[in-house]
Amino acid sequence: MRHFLPGALLITVLLPAFANDNTPAPQHLEPPFWWAGMAEPQLQLLVHAPAIAGSKPELHYPGVRLLKTETLPNPNYLVLTLQLAPTVRPGGFEIRFRDQATGRLRYQYPYRLLQREPQSAQRQGFGAQDVILNLVPDRFANGNPDNDRIAGYADHVDRSDDGGARHGGDIAGIRAHLDYIQRMGYTMIWPTPMLENNLPRYSYHGYAATDLYRIDPRFGSNEDYRQLVQAARQRGIGMIQDVVLNHIGSHHWWMQDMPAPDWLGFQGKFVPTRHARTTLSDRYAAAADRENFSYGWFTDTMPDLNQRNPVLATYQIQNTIWWIEYAGLSGLRVDTYSYSDPAFLARWSASILREYPHFSMVGEEWSTQPLVVARWLRGYRNPDGYRSSMPAMMDFPMQDVLRQAFSSNESWNSGFNSLYEALVADQLYPQPERMVLFDGNHDISRIYSVFDKDAALVKMALAYIATIPRTPQLYYGTEILMESRKERDDGAARRDFPGGWAEDKVNAFTGAGLSEAQQNMQRYVARLLNWRKTANAVHKGHMLHFSPEDGIYCYFRILGKQTVMVILNKNTESRELALARFTEGIGKRTKASDVMDGRQFRLAETLALPARSATILELE
């Protein structure tokens, strides 16, 4: 299938190239176009067409030189490496492929070097000043029912099936509700992957890509995605793309015509991973276990990619850069980060930051051990000398402690004390404020259900996530107390957001049909997140915390003259908190205002704390 840049402008430019010329294009040529002025001067093109290895490529364009041509074990592939001069200008040229024996023109492709957007390389990523919304596009809102069924895609819409069927949510649905997302106070959106997943079933989640350069048409088009990013940016919201480096889907077009025997882990044989995450750092680990972790397959429908193959490694690096540049992304969330080849990950992360020095990326390392997570962070000194360029990782260790702390009884080694002690791990993180702490995501049970439907505990946990030195991420539906099962159940945790479908009787976007408790939580989250946008002490300030006592945990965020005081009271009754102990944080300040309701307080000897509450004060 030929890839073109979506949009009428480019189509009108490209069509004349084929006028009066029946020479076919290759089935695939990727990346399908590129940009002038990138930091990396070499561009690799993976070309796929019948017996193309027997062809000699040629091109002529000022500032572009064909540096080398490589064949792969499969003769239907050819790899071109172009050298782009620093002075190369945007424009187009033909790449022709002539039969080496006869000189006959077999294929041609109209390649384009595009103009980059101004300051593209200097784009700013996300950080502690932001709050990220994680949503599952298929389950958020159906803005275009016409794309629910697409010819050639077997997995159709069935909303009665929470487990594996598609429900019809799409890019148009997200775009239609950007005002809601903005009103709630989110500044970044992380949708689960939207690349093509053309599988017979269970394609909605997006983690088994079948084309790495195409948005799944049941979500929309490449151009729809780019316009969504632009529309979000106009509202002060950035887009984080969910990237899967470790594996592809079993129906990816590579699987029909494998480029090389070593393109996949274990030579294309299904060997399941044992998920032994510690093997890469464990000095006692067997080499076979390390090999299994990096190259074993998640499932037989998710073939594991072998990034020790240099052509594949470069392909994946360029694919990531292509989407950043094309769509105008603000960041990346990298799925199953540690499962990929470690040397490749170091190269990949460094390559992205070479092109975009201020960009943000966060990796998924689903481990509750801070040492395992810290291995992948930029600036962390690994005993084995491994060096990464990843700015941040998902904070699974703290997320795990948080859920236990708020749902367990208070004692010397549980409840708030475990939360307090968990922060000692921040000495392992070069920039703890960039670590992404989350209430939930698409892979775990919803926090409201974990907390036995105690909305007060949810509020306290969200206040904690929003005010410690982290980059917060919330899961869609938390703000309206959406439920799941306590144990993992993906279908239950990814239920449809009410109001995203025309037939829904409850509409969370407008508030119609929500219970009083749901409306109360929705208002709470919106107030908390919108206040947080201007809370510089929370974004950049030093944290000072005091060991919990009697179910009360108090801490401060301090930046110059700005001080935020947070008091969590997990008790089921109100308490009077003696303030003398907290003089180090309060200083000589005598007044404070509650950021949630504007109430004014005098900081005298005690402070009244409502039962089951988070009190957030700005000290004056």
Best CA proximity match to 331, nearest among 356, 367, 354: 356
Contact (Cβ atoms closer than 8 angstroms) between residue 158 and residue 202: no
Helices (H), 367-488: 370-374, 396-407, 416-422, 447-450, 455-467
CA terminus-to-terminus distance, the chain: 63
Q: If residue 310 lies in a helix (H) or strand (E), which one and from where to where?
A: helix 310-327
Q: Which residue has the tokens 């509409």?
A: 507
Q: Which residues are catalytic?
A: 335, 364
Do the strands 360-363 and 77-84 form a parallel or antiparallel pair, or are they unpaired?
unpaired
Residue 68 burial (C-beta neighbours within 10 Å; 0-12, 13-18, 19+): exposed
Q: Find the helix packing angle between 396-407 and 455-467, rounded to 10°.
A: 150
CA angle 439, 445, 449 (to 5 degrees): 85
CA atoms within 13 A on the CB side of 493: 21
Q: What span, in angstroms and rounded, lies between the C-alpha atoms of 315 and 305?
A: 12
Best CA proximity match to 255, nearest among 208, 318, 307, 293: 208
What residues have CB less than 8 Å from 216, skipping those under 6 apart? 194, 195, 196, 197, 198, 203, 206
Residue 496 DSSP symbol: P
Q: Find the helix packing angle between 222-234 and 310-327, rounded to 10°.
A: 50
Residue 512 DSSP symbol: B
Do the strands 55-58 and 91-99 form a parallel or antiparallel pair, or are they unpaired?
antiparallel
Contact (Cβ atoms closer than 8 angstroms) between residue 555 and residue 564: no
What sign does the dihedral 274-277-279-283 (CA atoms) show?
A: negative
What residues have CB less than 8 Å from 311, skipping those under 6 apart? 44, 46, 70, 72, 79, 259, 260
